[in-house]
Amino acid sequence: MELRSLGNTDVMIPEIGLGVWKYRGGAEPLQRGVELGAFLIDTAEMYRTEDAVGQAVKDLREKVFIASKVSGSNLRHDDVLRAADASLRRLETNFIDLYQIHWPNSSVPIKETMRAMETLVDRGLVKCIGVSNFSVGQLRAVRAAMSKYPVVSNQVLYNLNSREIEDDLLPYCQEHGVTVIAYTPLDDGRLAVKSRFRRSQGMKVMEEIAAQVQKTLAQVALNWCTSHANVIAIPKSDSVTRTEENCGASGWRLSEEQMRRLDEAFV
């Protein structure tokens, strides 16, 4: 598994992690992913999977990078602290490696929220601070509100069928050393399965490229994500087999020509 720096820090994370939104796979797929090097597991208080993650990695904690999120409805200073404490209990851990704001909330001053996030780092309960679903303007405001620590990541929707971040958000994050954590990188499985019916031009091209590189469609789609600078991907899988397949998206690279063909086919 290839590793990437988290933001501008010296923390190294895998380019393929494990998402657990709507996760129902139990401990084994997560444990197998960690074994294969996908040791970043991303959860959130609103997912209601923190307890499942905690149970799965309780004997692997020193090998796992746990990312979680505070809900956008809990962004008042004291609410952030309480939410983090509850997440720590559910995860059965003493600290969260990456704590993220799940959604922006314009009704709460961002300085108030970030003051609480920095307090969590001061107390050793959180190692790194990130955000999720933040626009360029919102990310600028967050960075300006920080007084002690950097914002290391922005978790956003990104896949071959959803490329809006390429207009301004992805370049901004690349310029300022903010890791983009791509969620739903397989577009809820639509990029991972060969259709028996009429296929789009994009899927036809991806099938050709998958045959060329002797990889699966899912592996090509994930590798396309991680071939971009500052981008990692967190696909979700409830099975060991699919987790192993997703991890096989690392350790190789699509060529520039293959990337160009995919970019042109998926517009």
Question: What would the pLDDT profile of 174-188 be if each residue is shown by its tens digit?
Answer: 999 999 999 999 999
C-alpha–C-alpha distance, residues 92 and 141, integer Å:
32
DSSP 3-state assignment of 248?
Answer: coil
pTM: 0.94
Straight-line distance from the first to the last Cα atom of the chain, in angstroms, rounded to the nearest whole number: 29
Fold adopted by 3-189+224-251: TIM Barrel (3.20.20)
Of the pLDDT bands very low, low, confident and very high (cuts 50, 70, 90), residue 130 is very high
DSSP 3-state assignment of 27?
Answer: helix
Please report the pLDDT score of residue 197 as a whole number: 59
CA neighbor of 230 nearest in space, from 9, 1, 33:
9
pLDDT per position as a tens digit, 2-58: 999 999 999 999 999 999 999 999 999 999 999 999 999 999 999 999 999 999 999
- 18-19/231-233 β-pairing: unpaired
Please report the pLDDT score of residue 199 as a whole number: 72
Contact, 23 vs 52, CB < 8 A? yes
CA neighbor of 116 nearest in space, from 73, 70, 76, 149:
76
For residues 168-179, give the mean pLDDT.
98
Residue 182 forms beta bridges with which residues? 156, 233
Sequence spans of domains, the chain: 3-189+224-251
For residues 154-162, give the mean pLDDT.
97
Could you give the C-alpha distances from 267 to 147, 222, 224, in angstroms and in order? 40, 17, 14
CA neighbor of 42 nearest in space, from 18, 26, 71:
18
Residue type at 211 in one-letter notation: A
Please report the pLDDT score of residue 196 as a whole number: 61
Active site residue 99: no
**Which listed residue (47, 99, 172, 183) is catalytic?**
47
CA neighbor of 116 nearest in space, from 91, 85, 89:
85
Contact, 108 vs 76, CB < 8 A? yes
Contact, 53 vs 66, CB < 8 A? yes
In the predicted structure, residue 198 carries a pLDDT above the cut 90 = no
pLDDT per position as a tens digit, 95-126: 999 999 999 999 999 999 999 999 999 999 99
For residues 61-79, give the mean pLDDT.
96
**CA–CA–CA angle 44, 5, 151 (5° rounding):** 55
